[in-house]
C-alpha cells in the first residue's frame, strides 16, 4: 500500500485500549468490493433456529465451509472462544470472547482477526476480505444480548 492510502485510512480503534484484555468483542469483516462469496450460516450453537427470512440459497457452500473452518480454528490457535457468528453473503459478524488460558499468552484481537483473514486468503489463493474490520468492545451482559439479537434477531 502506498503511504497516501495509509494516510487516508481512518483509525477506528479505541485509543489507549488494550485489545488483548479479557472480554467480548463484536467484529464485522466485509468481503473485498462487497463480493457475494458466501451462503448464510449461523453459529452451530444456534443452528436449531429456523431462519425466518429464508429460504437462503445454498450457493457458495464450499466457500462458507472454508471460512467457518478457519474461524473455528482461531479457538485452537489462540486464547479465544468464538461465542457467536453469522456468515452472510458479503460479510461476517463474530462475537469473540478473549480469555487468557493457562499456558497460553493473551493475544491481541487484531492478531486473531488478521490470522483468520490470512488463513482464508491462503486457502482461496487471493485476498477475499477488505484490509480493515469493524470492532466494538462489549462492556456488559445487556450489550452482549443486544448484539447477539442484532446479528440474529431471534423473534
Dihedral over alpha carbons 150, 76, 98, 31 (to 10 degrees): -40
pLDDT means per 10 residues, the chain with 155 residues, are 52 65 94 93 66 50 93 93 93 93 79 96 95 93 92 65
pLDDT at 127: 95
CA distance 115 to 23: 19
User: Under a CB-based contact definition with an 8 Å cutoff, are residues 107 and 1 in contact?
Assistant: no
pTM of the prediction?
A: 0.81
Residue 101: per-residue pLDDT: 75
pLDDT attached to residue 48: 47
- pLDDT at residue number 82: 95
DSSP-assigned letters across all residues of 35-66 = ------EE-GGGTTS--TT-PPP-TTHHHHHH
Task: Tell me the backbone φ, ψ of residue 110, rounded to 5 degrees.
Answer: -60, -40
Q: Is the four-CA dihedral 38, 42, 48, 50 of positive or negative sign?
A: negative
| Helical residues (DSSP H) of the chain, grouped into ranges | 3-8, 61-77, 109-124, 141-151
Cα of 74 vs its chain's centroid, Å: 10
Q: Which residues contact 30 (CB under 8 A, 6 or more apart)?
A: 90, 91, 129, 130, 133, 134
Please report the domains of the chain, with CATH numbers, ordered by start residue. Answer: 17-151 (3.30.70.1290)
Cα torsion 114, 92, 96, 27: sign: positive
What per-residue confidence (pLDDT) applies to 154? 55
pLDDT of residue 21: 81
Amino acid at each position: 500500500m502506498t503511504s497516501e492510502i495509509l494516510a487516508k485510512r481512518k483509525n477506528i480503534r479505541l485509543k489507549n485500549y488494550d485489545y488483548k484484555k479479557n472480554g467480548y468483542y463484536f467484529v464485522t469483516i466485509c468481503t473485498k468490493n462487497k463480493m457475494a462469496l458466501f451462503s448464510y450460516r449461523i453459529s452451530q450453537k444456534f443452528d436449531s433456529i429456523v431462519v425466518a427470512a429464508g429460504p437462503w440459497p445454498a450457493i457458495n457452500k464450499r466457500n462458507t465451509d472454508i471460512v467457518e473452518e478457519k474461524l473455528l480454528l482461531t479457538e485452537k490457535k489462540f486464547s479465544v472462544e468464538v461465542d457467536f457468528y453469522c456468515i452472510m453473503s458479503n460479510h461476517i459478524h463474530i462475537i469473540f470472547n478473549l480469555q487468557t488460558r493457562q499456558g497460553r499468552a493473551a493475544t491481541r484481537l487484531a492478531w486473531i482477526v488478521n490470522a483468520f483473514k490470512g488463513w482464508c486468503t491462503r486457502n482461496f489463493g487471493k485476498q477475499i476480505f477488505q484490509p480493515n474490520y469493524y470492532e466494538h468492545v462489549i462492556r456488559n451482559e445487556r450489550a452482549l444480548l443486544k448484539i447477539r439479537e442484532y446479528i440474529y434477531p431471534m423473534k
